Amino acid sequence: MVTPALAVGTEQKKRYLLQAGEGFSNLVPDEDVQTAVWQYNRQTPGPVIRIKQGETLQIPFSNKLIQPTSIHWHGLRIENRMDGVPGITQSVIEPGTEFLYEFTPPDAGTFWYHTHNRSWEQMARGLHGVLIVEEKEPIVVDQDLVWVIDDWLIDRDGNIDESSLGALHDWAHGGRVGNLLTVNGKSQPEFPVFRGERIRLRLVNVANARTMNLRFTQVSPQAIAIDGQPIVPAPLENSALTLAPGQRIDLILDMTMSPGERMAMEFYLGEEAMVAASLVCDLYKVVREVPLDTNIQLTKNPLSTTLDMANARTVDLSIEGGAMGRMREAVFNGRKLPIQELVKEKKIWAINGIAGLSDEPLFSVERGETVVIQMDNKNRWPHAMHIHGHHFINIDEGEGFDVVWRDTFLLNPNGKKRFGFVADNPGKWLIHCHMIEHQAGGMVTWFEVV
């Protein structure tokens, strides 16, 4: 299939055409079945965009969909007016019109892009892709693989289940979870490797709502970056990891399998497990017998990591609502409504008593201030809390890794956590659940850095 993508430009500026439109993709195991999806550049997932750290990316984007849309660049600490949030940082991009995105990402790492308008429908139809910013001094690997993990809800005929799009039941529960797992838009794909190779594997969970429990057979992966930010390399405990919607992890895998053997990344749920994708070791060619012992520690990004705790602005953020919750009322569009009225508006989640975006920010800080957000998840559901334009640290405890700066954190039911960051990026930024149906159902707020 012809792709209209073109990557041209100078070393400092790279131009990449992106177009959203309708198309077809073979998602299900039956090769003859094509599913009608929405795509970037006629690809599912959208194309992997690669630039080098320090380069400016210019993206002339055209909307060939029947709905207005926008693109959010998840995890990239870029200029606010390029953040892609309709009503906050830009107007929607109407069908048949264009918008020029242009930014210079400060950080190297694994990021992604997706629609930020009617995301509960547009993301479910496939509008997402990966953006990689390569390090100026990359670590040595033989292959750099990207695995985009998605969760589709497909009907018997192989079509996207449209009847469940917007279903209030899902919005009030765990979101719209699917029945088909894909990696790079394929069911259980296989990737060729050679014995002795070192693989950098970038995992991205682009699902609307499903948190992925993943584990690896045959090899012991080492984690080197989380949500795009380098960590001190550390082995995965039991070769397993949890990836919430929106989260990424970069792994190093040394192919110590014998020729002909395969390594599987399994998706598991309780006792049940299924293969999500495999690396298959070539029968004949061997790259090296002894694994590489070169450095896998990535260079730090220019992220402000010194928190001024003595003068920090502390903000309480409490999350209420959902099925089996105790929320009785909330403010919506400036009016306090009882739960019965909120349900009619499909606003069944609230942050600090407010469902959906309000005119006033949750808080406003001066550029450079340290912010501590005390999140209190007062309901029965886990939430993948995402902060735009900033990476934050969990102040209270480690996660098995040394220090982790995330842009998306999986908060457990009734969980309380304190997140700290330096608010060094001016503008209006969202905080929301990345289980997209929860965001649509009201779990979204914003703050301002002035």
Q: Which is nearer to Cu ion, 48 or 433 (CB)?
A: 433
- Please choose, out of 64-72, 197-205, 403-411, 428-436, the segment that lies near Cu ion by the rule CB under 5 A: 428-436
Distance CA 251, CA 249 (A): 6
The answer to whether 192 and 278 are in contact (CB under 8 A) is no
Asked if 438 interacts with Cu ion (CB under 5 A), we say yes
Q: Which is nearer to Cu ion, 186 or 380 (CB)?
A: 380
Smallest distance, Å, CB 255 to Cu ion?
A: 37
Q: Which is nearer to Cu ion, 55 or 170 (CB)?
A: 170
- Please choose, out of 66-74, 191-199, 409-417, 435-443, the segment that lies near Cu ion by the rule CB under 5 A: 435-443
The answer to whether 343 and 431 are in contact (CB under 8 A) is no
Beta strand pairing call for 71-74 and 49-52: unpaired
Smallest distance, Å, CB 380 to Cu ion?
A: 11
Distance CA 187, CA 201 (A): 18
Smallest distance, Å, CB 409 to Cu ion?
A: 11
End-to-end CA separation in angstroms for the chain: 46
Asked if 85 interacts with Cu ion (CB under 5 A), we say no
The answer to whether 437 and 170 are in contact (CB under 8 A) is yes
Smallest distance, Å, CB 137 to Cu ion?
A: 38
Smallest distance, Å, CB 438 to Cu ion?
A: 3
Q: Which is nearer to Cu ion, 241 or 435 (CB)?
A: 435
Q: Which is nearer to Cu ion, 406 or 438 (CB)?
A: 438
Question: How many Cβ atoms from other residues are within 10 Å of residue 258's Cβ?
Answer: 11
Smallest distance, Å, CB 432 to Cu ion?
A: 8
- Please choose, out of 89-97, 109-117, 392-400, 425-433, the segment that lies near Cu ion by the rule CB under 5 A: 425-433
Q: Which is nearer to Cu ion, 330 or 422 (CB)?
A: 330
Distance CA 279, CA 308 (A): 45
At residue 105, what are phi and psi to the nearest 5 degrees?
-65, 130
Q: Which is nearer to Cu ion, 147 or 171 (CB)?
A: 171
Asked if 433 interacts with Cu ion (CB under 5 A), we say yes
Encoding tokens for residue 100?
A: 């020029």
Considering only residues 354 through 393, tell me which ones interact with Cu ion, judged by CB under 5 A: 383
Count of residues binding Cu ion (CB under 5 A)?
4
Q: Which is nearer to Cu ion, 210 or 383 (CB)?
A: 383
Q: Tell me which amino acid residue 80 is.
A: N
Smallest distance, Å, CB 428 to Cu ion?
A: 21
Asked if 435 interacts with Cu ion (CB under 5 A), we say yes
Beta strand pairing call for 369-377 and 313-321: parallel
Smallest distance, Å, CB 363 to Cu ion?
A: 21
Encoding tokens for residue 349?
A: 């989640």
Question: How many Cβ atoms from other residues are within 10 Å of residue 387's Cβ?
Answer: 22
- Please choose, out of 68-76, 91-99, 215-223, 429-437, the segment that lies near Cu ion by the rule CB under 5 A: 429-437
Q: Which is nearer to Cu ion, 383 or 417 (CB)?
A: 383
- Please choose, out of 33-41, 133-141, 386-394, 438-446, the segment that lies near Cu ion by the rule CB under 5 A: 438-446
The answer to whether 193 and 368 are in contact (CB under 8 A) is no
DSSP string, 312-352: PEEEEEEEEESTT----EEEETTEEEEHHHHHHTT--EEET
Q: Give residues with Cβ within 8 angstroms of 403, minimum separation 6.
A: 231, 232, 305, 393
Strand partners, 338: 329
Smallest distance, Å, CB 334 to Cu ion?
A: 24
- Please choose, out of 71-79, 158-166, 198-206, 436-444, the segment that lies near Cu ion by the rule CB under 5 A: 436-444
Smallest distance, Å, CB 244 to Cu ion?
A: 9
Encoding tokens for residue 240?
A: 């397993």
Asked if 200 interacts with Cu ion (CB under 5 A), we say no
The answer to whether 4 and 43 are in contact (CB under 8 A) is no
Distance CA 302, CA 319 (A): 32
Q: Which is nearer to Cu ion, 91 or 412 (CB)?
A: 412
The answer to whether 421 and 305 are in contact (CB under 8 A) is no
Q: Which is nearer to Cu ion, 18 or 244 (CB)?
A: 244
Asked if 181 interacts with Cu ion (CB under 5 A), we say no
Biggest CA-to-CA distance, the chain: 69
Smallest distance, Å, CB 439 to Cu ion?
A: 7
Name the site residues for Cu ion (rule: CB under 5 A): 383, 433, 435, 438
